[in-house]
Structures are given as structure tokens and as C-alpha cells.
Chains A and B, each alone.
Chain A
Amino acid sequence: MSRGTRFRETMTGSMRLTTSGRVSPVRLDLRASADHVLRPFGTTLARVEGRVRVAGLADDPAASGELEISPLAARRIRYRLAFTAGGRRLVLDGWKSITPRHPVRSMTVLPFTLYEDDEPLGTGTLRFRARALPSFLAGFRFPRREDPDALTAARWRGAPGRTEVWYTTVTDPATGTGLWLHHELTAPADGSAAYAHGWAAVFPKGAPVRHARFGPVPWKPEDRGFAADGVRAVPGRLAGAAGAMNWDLTEQPEAAPLFTFPRWSWRRPLLPAAQILPAARATYEGTVRYEDGTLELTGAPGASARIYGHGNARRWSWLHADLGGGDVLEIVAAVSTRPGLRRLPPLVFLRLRRDGRTWPRRPERSAIGWAGALRFRADIGLPTWTVTGRAGLRRIRVTVTQPEDRTLALEYTDPDGARATCRNCERADAQVRLDRWWGRWRPEADWRLDGTAHAEVGTR
């Protein structure tokens, strides 16, 4: 696992057009992201996006380009930005030349040339203002960069009493049909041979839920993901057959990984179980055939998730809601089976990814709050369950409804042989309300999902 770099930078200045001699103010608001941590003694290449404003010429909020950051090696920080001005495609190319004689000025002054079709259109100078320094420095982030494929690979290394799950839920936007593919590896606690099994379920609109099981078959290690009984769940591909159903789908990740549980709990399995999403959102293409129909998926939204742990919880609820516009809400609320812990109210892991940022920032915040205070609360029930909570200046209320007729009830078996009942609905309704404190609670966002939420409630 490595870390990347993200920062924002604002520069202002002016430019002179070669032809007319007119001088115009210029402003750049840039977001830069690099695939690794800035290397002070080397060269870092970063992507850059943002807004370019040239008074009277351009205001393009979707400028994009690249940044070559080499303050000591090449002594140059070069900006190349392409943007649109009234249908014309312009390129801004300039660089800061770092010199130890004028460290501050050379780090903050950016002379540039503006080109159209490789012909210079004008020249100018941008400056990074000292007043922008605090926000610039505070805006530096070094986000981890996960390899989603590595997150899909099997975790189990032979220990008894483990269970590992690859599951995928999809909504077909054309028909409203939900799809659930569940692939499970169980290593019984008594030390007997591990086995693989699973099922597929289709939730057609206005028709009963169909499902079919595959396996169990002995587990054969597969590095990239799950493969057993002709069923495969590997990065980018889901294929297999179970009973009267067969499916062949491709999976295209659309977002960064989402750790519903704390990241450390996935790396070091100290909690009874942990769940993650290798990609918070994904789209699916392909065909699913079931006994009385065929589902043709094209760009269907959904997500794949992974669970690794000792078994199922004592009680749990789960929600995956694609809120549109790239926003995703993922909730797992669970009561552990362990003695002592089982007396606690459900631990809520709520992750709201909005505009690329995840709230609350730490998964522990919603689960345990501040030593229990201000933790998020879940009221697990059927057909409706709710989660509420507050962190920082925001509060959320999520209401999930799993109508009986759209819900599939299945029995799970834990590694220790215990049984649990799961009620899964890939056509659930959900209402999400987000408020922000600004003198008083004011509504910030309100999402209603009608039959497109993916939810599950488990009981014993």
C-alpha cells in the first residue's frame, strides 16, 4: 500500500494578449493529485484539475492538465493546463524556476504562455499569494492508495473457524431488477475441510424473487478471488451457474475502495469480522439468465463487497445505497456473538462518501463515538430499520424499508455450525436525510431511494 498526494492551489495574476495587447486578470483554482507522496529530491508528476478564469476570455471550471513538481532535482515546477474558452481549446504552459537566490519569489511566481494550436496567444504571470498559504498547507492530503485487485484476493490462509465472502449487488436501471451474487468460503471451526458455496438471487420488479444455490464443493485456493464449482468472482469478472441460473458479467470499478470497518481491522483481523468494498461503486455489463427471464445489464450500478471473519454477527443490518452523482452510503450495524459484546447495542459503521470525501472521517467514530458517547444508533427491525447519528457539524438519519414481498430469506451457517437467518432485499427503499449545523440544524441533503437500495437484516 502506498500513499498519494492531494492539494489545492490558488494563484492570481494577469496576462497580456499578444494580438490586442489587452491585459486581463487571471485566476487559477487547482486541485492536484499525485500517485505517490511528493518526492522533494525527485520529480513528481501529478494530475491537475480545476477552474481557469481569464477575464473576458475564459471561465472553464473543467480545466485539466498535469503538474511536474521537481523543486530540487530539475528546479522546476511546471504547470500544463488545457481549458476551453468559448469553444476554443487553449493550453496554459508555464513553470516556476526555483533558485536558491530567491527561494520565496521563485517558488511563488509562475510566468506562463497561453497557446492555441501551438501558437502563442499571450503571456502572463501568476502569483501564489501569501494569504493563501495557510489554506494551501492545511489542504495537503496524503491519501492511501489501495490496489482494489489486492483487496479482492482471498484472505484465508488455512485457519479453522473462518468465513470469507465475496458478494455483489446490482440494480438494473432499465428494469428495476435487483441482483445478488453471494460467494462464500467456510472453514469449519472443527478443523474439517473448507468448502465453497454460494447463491445467486434475482429480484425482478413485480415478480417473485428467484434464487439458486451452488456448491458446496471443496475449496481450492485461487489467488485473485473466488473460484469454485465453475463460479468465479475475480477482479473485473463475475461468471458462473447455479441451478437454472447462469450469469456472465464484467465489473468496472468507478470509485476508490471504501473501508466500512476501520482499515486496521481488515489488515489485522482483530474484530470478529470486517467488511470492505474494493470499489465503493462499480458498474456491470453482461447477461443473467434465470428460469423465467433474462437480465441484460448495461452500465448497471452496484458494488462488490468482501467480508472476512469468524462468522456472522448475532444480529445485523446492512445497507448499500447508491445516492447518485458518485455519492454512496454504506452501513453495517451489528451485534457481536461474543460473550459480553453481545449485550451491547449494535455497533454502527456508517460511511457516507460525498464529493469524493468520506464522512465521518474515521469509521470508529460512528461505532463507538467518544468512549460510547455520541455513537451512532441503529434500530434494527423489519420491515423498517433506522440508523441515526451525529458527527462534527452534521447529523444523519437513514430509514430503510425492506418490503416482505421483495425480500429473500436464507439460512446462513457459521463456521461453528450455528445458524442464522438473513433477509435480503436488493429492491429496498431508503430515505437518507443529512443536516448541517449552522446556528441550527438545517437540511443539507435528502435522498430517497425507491427500490434501488440494497439491504439485509440478519437475526438468530
Chain B
Amino acid sequence: MSLDGLVAGLLASDGTEEWAARTPHRLESLLSAMPLPSRAGIRAAARAIDAYALVRTGRRLGGLTPAEREGVLAALGARPRLQPMLDVLKVPVLLAAGTERLAGRAAPPTAPVPADPPLDCTPAHAWPRRSTADAVVIGSGAGGAMAARTLARAGARVVVVEEGAHHSTASFGRRAPLDRFTDLYRDGGATIALGDPPLLLPVGRAVGGTTVVNSGTCYRTPAHVLARWTQQYGFAAAAQLDAFLDEAERTLHVGPQSLDVLGANGRIALAGAAALGWRAAPLRRNAPGCRGSCQCVVGCPTGAKQSVQLSVLPDACAAGARIVTGARVLRILVDPGRPGGPRAAGVRVAVSGGAGRRGDDSAESEILAPLVVVAAGALQSPALLRRSGLGRHPRLGRNLSVHPATSVAGRFAEPVTAWEGVLQSVGVEELHSRGVLIEATATPPGMGSFVLPGVGRELRDELEDAGRLATLGAMVADLPSGRVLGRDRVLVRYGLSPRDADRLLHAVRAMAQLLFAAGAQEVLTGIPVAPRARSVRELDAILGRVGPRQLHLSAYHPTGTVAAGADPQRAPTDGTGRLRGVHGVVVADGSLLPSCPEVNPQLSIMAAALAVAEAHTGG
């Protein structure tokens, strides 16, 4: 089915602008990267709108004049119950439209980027079908990279198996943000945590894992969280985590973001906080030479952000580690019946891009190793363990903790041009003790979690006027209230707890306060039924009649699904990251963290992985 009519209707396009004409094609390519259920859902919604137009006018959307389309969509937009469906359609359309609009305004030529430090990457189809190693690390994200480096430096022959591909900094500079978006994220960025409300939970998939696409914000694990992990959960490795956090910070060159490239978005947040007397400061980030490209979430095009494929993995490769890309681990091989219990023997890997027929085992490869480090991320690790026959622990896959997040935009009199500057620039920690962390976050148009209100002409006007918007995001520390199901396909369920729902509403109010304090004329709430508020009082009235289900929610930083802990009944891994019930399997990623880290977790995951790997090497 053609999406031209839908795109033209949503964006009130008369077909004369070039960028709007290109948008449907861009949208198709975006949809093709999404998993089947998301794709089917979006197409079904588009069909429903088409059918509505057919019933109302006798013609499909594509056959209507711009004015007629406007009328059809306005009639739909007037029905509050249909708002969620329209939003499902707006997110990908805005993403595609934002990309095409920016593509029109040719990106400014950037200075030549330095070459990336060398990595020893081999595509899976060129990797031997039978090989051996001392340790196999599954996943090359924050945890996997750190574990690989530690093991390789200890003298082990390490093979890192990564499902995604390797992307160089130069390749980021060459390609449009949306092209990178679909390559760098699992499911084209459309990973959904099912629940009421559902959460968009984007996770990276590339050499470097989510660190390639995160915002580069590097918080140390708060002391009270470390104390809770050690004392309440018996996560023994957390006791020395401070030293490992130091090491992770050194590796990533973490420092406060300099003000020169901070951008107007960050300055507005600082100004608002100053006016309110709130604690706020430029974030500590791992991007020492950041030029404010505002493209963190689709791979830093200047190589300033020290994602692990630029900082940790080169060290690992220099110590002898090798990376296999495009290789999905089908299962961890386990030798049962060994004296002392079952023991990991290696991994079986599905090769993508090879010549093998479907179902042919020539598209599979095996790497034997006595040590398997699981670092596939909190969403994939439980499924991997289940399909390896290691998922018997009743708490495996449970205890999923995320940071539910929402964002609010403020319209200012002056142009803000939020996409020029640092993507995530300023942290407002005033409410952190109450579980709310506000971070000034601007994204390339369409890529953020903030969804512009309205459809048709209204949406078009908002899009045109996006240059005057400043965006703040807030994430709340949750109670672990999610669960990862599935063996081959991952199904995430998340039930937002009432406490966290209150925190979200509280966060929306705080962000609006901040924006008004900084001089915003109005605040876009992101609530479809009441998209605008002109004062805090007006907002309070809105928040009084809506619940968190009306908010646009996304979630980040999944952790805790293979939690470490001293209690064998409650924790699938022991205090040093060893999976219970089998020898030779160590967990070294976010799934290890016993509860919500309450801050952006890259440093926490890296330090935990370092602690686990050091414990294993006896260091």
C-alpha cells in the first residue's frame, strides 16, 4: 500500500516541496528495518485511516485534494480515543520528514575526522566455521568490551561475538542520520516494552553496542545505589566498584562538557535552573573534543564521543582480542555430565551475510571456549540463556529495570535551533533524590522521544517552527517492574508502577517550571489531549485530569534481568557474576545490576563488567 497519501495528509503537503515528496520513500525504508509486528501495526493504522477516508469521501487519502485531506485528518484528530493510533503513525513519519528536510539543507562540511583506532574485526562469513578460544565474549557493548579487554590483557585468547556490524566514524559522516538510525538500532529502533502504557525501548546493535548511540552522559553510580547493591542484594563486586568506576572514567576520558559547544538548548536549561535556584550543571560526558554535532544517537560523526569501539575495544584488540561481526549467538554450548556439573564449552553462532542456504548448517559457526562471557544486554541475555538451556532460574528475565522517560518542549521567542549543540548537555539534579533526573536533550528533528502535537496543518506549522523549541527530558528511577520473555524472539513486558507514574507527572511539571523560568512562551506537554500550556498553573490543571498513560513515554537503560546477588533463590548469578547452575558462564552487562542504577548506566555497567572480569582472572 502506498503511504504517499498518509504522509501528505499528516504533513499537510501539497506535493510541491521536494522533501515532502521524498518522505514516503524514506518512510518505506524505515519500515523495512522494523520487526514484523511494528511494521504490521503501522501499516494497519495507515489502512484504517485510508478506509476512514474512503467511507467519508468515497476516495482514498491519496486521491484527495490537500484541503480534503486536512478535513479528514482534522475529523480524526478531534477524537481523543484515536490519538494513540495517530501518534503511532506520526513518530515514523516525523522521523522520515525530519531527515528529508535536513537533507535539503546540506549539512555543513565538517573538518576531516581522525582515523579510528584499529580494531580486529572479521565478518562472520569470513570466520572459520570451527575455531577455539580461551574466552568468548557475547556482545561488544559497554560490558562486553570491558570484559574482553580485561581477559585479553590477562593473556587469554578472546573472541568477541557481535550481532551488529562495525561502523567507522568516517562512515557516520558519509551517511544521513536516518540511514544510520536503522542500521545502528535493533528492530530499527522500534523495540517496544508491552504494557499499559507501552514504552519505546531503543537499544543499539553494532560493534560498541548501545554506547555507539547513547548520548555520552557518564554518571558514576551514586553511593547510595552502591550501598544498596552491596548490603541489600549481596552484589559482592559492587564493594570495590569505586576503583573500577575510576578506571572506566579514565578509559573514556570522562569530563564535564565544555560550554563553548553546549548549544542554546543546554544554556536555556542552565538559565532556567539558575532562575529557580536549582542544582544544574553541564553533564560529565565521554566526548572530550565534542563539536556539538548533535548526532550522538546515530553515531558520533566526529569521533569525539568515546564509545567503547573507539576507547576500550582497540585496547582489547591490541591485547589480542578478535571481534566477529554479523554473528548472532544461537546458543551457548554446554557439556553436561562433566565431573562437577555442566560446563560451558563455547558458542554456536548464526552467520549473516554468508552463502549458506536457509536451514543449512553451513550458515552456522562454532567457537569452543571454556569461558563464555554473556554481555548481550539486559534484553537479549535472558533469551540467549534460555535457548541455551540455562534459563531455569525462576528470576531469570524478571527484575527488568528501565528508566521510564518523557520529554517536554518549550517555545521561545528567539530561535533556539536545539539541534545545533550538544545532544544531551545539562543535567538538573535538584530532584534526583526524589528519583527524577532532568537532562536537557535535543535531537535531530524527529529522532527524539518528543512528539509534536497535531496533525495536518497544525503539525506542519509545529514542524516549521521547531527551531524555536527547546527540549528537556526527564527519566525516573523505577522499581524493577518489567520482565523479558522469549527464547528466540524477545518480548518485553513492563508495568509502570504507580510510584513511578507519579514521578513522571512530577517530572513533567518540573521541566515545565524550568522552561517557564527560562522564559518559554508556552510549553508543549506531549499530551495529545492537552498539547499546550501557557503557565505552570495551566499545566497543573492539565496534569490534574490526565494520567501518565497520556504521556509519550519511552524508556532507556534496561538492566537487572540476570541480576547478581548472594541469595541463590533470588539472583541467577552470584556476587561475582558467575551464572548459577553451570560452570564457565559469566554475565558482564547491564543485566547483572541488581536494581535500577538511577543514572545513565554506561559507567556502572563498565565498572561491573570490569569487576566481574577481574574476579575471574584473579586480578
Using a CB–CB distance below 8 Å, which chain A residues touch chain B? Answer: 41-43, 70, 73-76, 93-95, 97, 99, 102, 105-106, 109, 111-113, 120, 123, 125
The answer to whether the Cβ of B285 comes within 8 Å of any Cβ in the partner chain is: no
Q: Which of B132, B333, B337, B364 lies in contact with A42, CB distance below 8 A?
A: B337
Q: Given that A74-B345, A106-B361 are contacting pairs, would A113 and B131 also be in contact in the complex, using a CB cutoff of 8 Å?
A: yes
Which residue on chain B has the smallest CB distance to residue A120? Answer: B128
| Shortest Cβ distance from residue B376 to the other chain A in the assembled complex, whole angstroms | 21
Instruction: Given A113-B128, A113-B131, A123-B130, verify A97-B337 contact (CB < 8 Å).
Output: no
Within the complex, the shortest CB–CB distance from A57 to chain B, in Å, comes to 17
Which residues of A have CB within 8 Å of B345? 74, 76
Provide the residues of chain A in CB contact with B522, threshold 8 Å.
none
Question: Does B348 lie at the interface of the complex (its beta carbon under 8 Å from any beta carbon of A)?
Answer: yes
Whether B130 pairs with A95 at a CB distance below 8 angstroms is: yes
The 3 closest A-B pairs by CB, nearest first: A111-B129, A113-B128, A74-B335
**Smallest Cβ-Cβ distance to B132: which chain A residue:** A93
B289 near A: Cβ within 8 Å? no
A106-B131 Cα distance, complex, nearest whole Å: 17
Q: Which residues of B contact A73 (CB under 8 A)?
A: 335-337
27 A-B residue pairs with Cβ-Cβ distance under 8 Å, sorted by A, are A42-B337, A43-B335, A43-B337, A70-B335, A74-B333, A74-B335, A74-B336, A75-B333, A76-B333, A93-B132, A97-B364, A97-B366, A99-B361, A102-B361, A106-B361, A109-B361, A111-B129, A111-B362, A112-B130, A113-B128, A113-B129, A113-B130, A120-B128, A120-B131, A123-B129, A123-B130, A125-B129
Which positions 363-391 of chain B face chain A at CB distance < 8 Å? 364, 366, 368
Residue of A nearest to B346 (CB): A76
Complex Cα gap A202–B411 (Å): 116
Within 8 A of A (CB), among B333-358: 333, 335-337, 345, 348
A221 to B336, CA, bound (A): 47
Residue among B128, B333, B361 facing the most chain A CB atoms (10 A cut-off): B128
A18, B165: Cα distance in complex, Å:
22
- Contact across chains for A123 and B361 when beta carbons are under 8 A apart: no
A105–B361 CB distance below 8 A: yes
Chain A: CB-nearest residue to B336: A73
User: In the bound complex, what is the Cα–Cα distance between A105 and B362 (angstroms)?
Assistant: 11
Instruction: Tell me how far the C-beta of A94 lies from the nearest C-beta in chain B, rounded to whole angstroms.
Output: 5
How many Å lie between the Cα of A275 and that of B178 in the bound state? 87
Could you tell me if A123 and B128 are in contact, using CB atoms closer than 8 angstroms?
yes
Closest chain B residue to A111, Cβ basis = B129
In the complex, how many angstroms separate the beta carbon of A96 from the nearest chain B beta carbon? 10
Chain A residues, CB < 8 A from B336:
73-74
Shortest Cβ distance from residue B243 to the other chain A in the assembled complex, whole angstroms: 34
Return B344 CB to nearest CB of chain A, in Å.
11
| Closest-CB distance, B365 to chain A (whole angstroms) | 8
Q: How far is the CB of A412 from chain B (nearest CB, A)?
A: 54
A113 to chain B, nearest CB (A): 4
Closest CB-CB distance, B2 to chain A, in whole Å? 41
Residues B118-152 near A (CB distance < 8 A): 128-132
Residues of B within 8 A of A106 (CB): 361
A70, A74, A75 — most chain B CB neighbours (10 Å): A74
Q: Is the interface of B mostly helix, strand, loop or mixed?
A: strand
| Residues in B neighbouring A43, C-beta threshold 8 A | 335, 337
In the complex, what distance in Å separates the CA atom of A92 from the CA atom of B345?
19
Contacts of A102 in B (CB 8 A): 361
| Bound form: Cα–Cα A41–B348 in Å | 21
Q: Which residue of chain B is the closest to A78 with respect to CB atoms? A: B368
A111:B130 contact, CB within 8 angstroms: yes
What's the least CB distance linking A141 to chain B, in Å? 26
Task: Compute how far the CA of A312 lies from the CA of B132 in the bound complex, rounded to whole angstroms.
Answer: 62
For B337, list chain A residues within 8 Å (CB): 41-43, 73
| CB contact under 8 A between A97 and B131, given known A42-B337, A73-B335, A109-B361 | no
A287 to chain B, nearest CB (A): 46
Question: B324: shortest Cβ distance to chain A, in Å?
Answer: 13
Min distance, Cβ B130 to any Cβ of chain A, angstroms: 5
- Alpha-carbon distance A381/B337, docked complex (angstroms): 62
Which residue of chain A has the shortest Cβ distance to B127 in the bound complex?
Answer: A123
Measured CA separation A112–B368 after assembly (Å): 12
How far, in whole Å, are A55 and B137 apart by their CA atoms in the complex? 36
- Are A97 and B128 touching (Cβ within 8 A)? no
Most buried by A among B336, B361, B362: B361
B residues less than 8 Å from A93 (CB atoms): 130, 132
Complex contact B366–A95 (CB within 8 A):
yes
Chain B residues whose C-beta falls within 8 Å of the C-beta of A111 in the assembled complex? 128-130, 362
Shortest CB-to-CB span from A152 to chain B, Å, is: 32
Could you say which residues of chain A place their CB within 8 Å of the CB of B132?
Answer: 93
In the complex, what distance in Å separates the CA atom of A42 from the CA atom of B337? 7
Taking the closest CB of chain A, its distance from the CB of B330, in whole angstroms, is: 11
| Chain B residues with CB under 8 A of A125 | 129, 362
Identify 16 new A-B residue pairs, CB closer than 8 A, beyond the known A73-B337, A95-B368, A111-B130: A74-B336, A76-B333, A76-B345, A93-B130, A93-B132, A95-B130, A97-B348, A97-B361, A97-B366, A109-B361, A111-B129, A111-B362, A112-B130, A113-B131, A123-B128, A123-B129
Q: How many angstroms between the C-alpha atoms of A99 and B348 in the bound complex?
A: 12
Give the chain B neighbours of A70 by CB distance below 8 A: 335
Q: What separation, in Å, do the CA atoms of A125 and B348 have in the docked complex?
A: 17
Q: Tell me the complex Cα distance, A382–B31, Å.
A: 101
A74, B342: Cα distance in complex, Å = 10
Q: Which residues of B contact A42 (CB under 8 A)?
A: 337
**Bound state CA distance, A95 and B348, in angstroms?**
12
**In the bound complex, do residue B361 and residue A94 qualify as a contact, i.e. CB atoms below 8 Å apart?**
no
In the bound complex, CA of A70 to CA of B334 (Å) = 12
A76 to B335, CA, bound (A): 9
* Shortest distance from the beta carbon of B126 to any chain A beta carbon, whole Å: 9
Which A residues are in CB contact (< 8 Å) with B129?
Answer: 111, 113, 123, 125
Contact (Cβ within 8 A) A94 B335: no
**In whole Å, how far is A121's beta carbon from the nearest beta carbon of chain B?**
10
Cα–Cα, bound, A413→B369 (Å): 67
B225 → A minimal CB distance (Å): 41
Measured between beta carbons, the chain B residues less than 8 angstroms from A94 are 130
Give bound CA distance, A95 to B128, whole Å. Answer: 12
Query: What distance in Å separates the Cβ of B370 from its nearest Cβ neighbour in chain A?
Result: 13
A148 to chain B, nearest CB (A): 29
CB distance from B532 to the nearest CB of A (A): 58
Considering the chains assembled together, what is the distance between the CA atoms of A78 and B384 in angstroms? 24
Query: Residues of B contacting A113 with CB < 8 Å?
Result: 128-131
Which residues does chain A contribute within 8 Å of B333, judged by CB atoms?
Answer: 74-76
| Chain A, residue nearest B345 (CB) | A74
A113 to B348 alpha-carbon distance, docked (Å) = 16
Q: How far is the CA of A113 from the CA of B131 in the complex (A)?
A: 7
Chain B residue at minimum C-beta to C-beta distance from A75: B333
Instruction: Name the distance in Å between A44's Cβ and chain B's nearest Cβ.
Output: 12
Q: Which residues of B contact A105 (CB under 8 A)?
A: 361
In this complex, which of A41, A76, A106 has the most chain B Cβ atoms within 10 angstroms of its Cβ?
A76
A93→B128 CA distance, assembly (Å) = 11
Instruction: Name the residue of chain B whose CB is nearest to the CB of A114.
Output: B128
Q: How far is the CA of A70 from the CA of B335 in the complex (A)?
A: 9
B89-131 interface (Cβ within 8 A of A): 128-131
* A110 closest partner in B (C-beta): B130
Smallest Cβ-Cβ distance to A80: which chain B residue: B132
With a cutoff of 8 Å between Cβ atoms, the chain B residues found around residue A112 in the complex are 130
B165 smallest CB distance to A (angstroms) = 22
Min CB distance, B529 to chain A, in Å? 53
Instruction: Flag B213-251 by CB within 8 Å of A: 1 or 0 each.
Output: 000000000000000000000000000000000000000
Q: Which chain B residues in 384-437 approach chain A with CB under 8 Å?
A: none
Which A residues are in CB contact (< 8 Å) with B362? Answer: 111, 125
Min Cβ gap B492→A in Å is: 29
Assembled-state Cα–Cα distance A109/B361 (Å): 10
Bound complex: CA A334 to CA B132 (Å): 60
Task: Give the chain A neighbours of B335 by CB distance below 8 A.
Answer: 43, 70, 73-74
Residue numbers in A under 8 Å from B361 (CB-CB):
97, 99, 102, 105-106, 109
CB distance from B389 to the nearest CB of A (A): 11
Closest CB-CB distance, B582 to chain A, in whole Å? 13
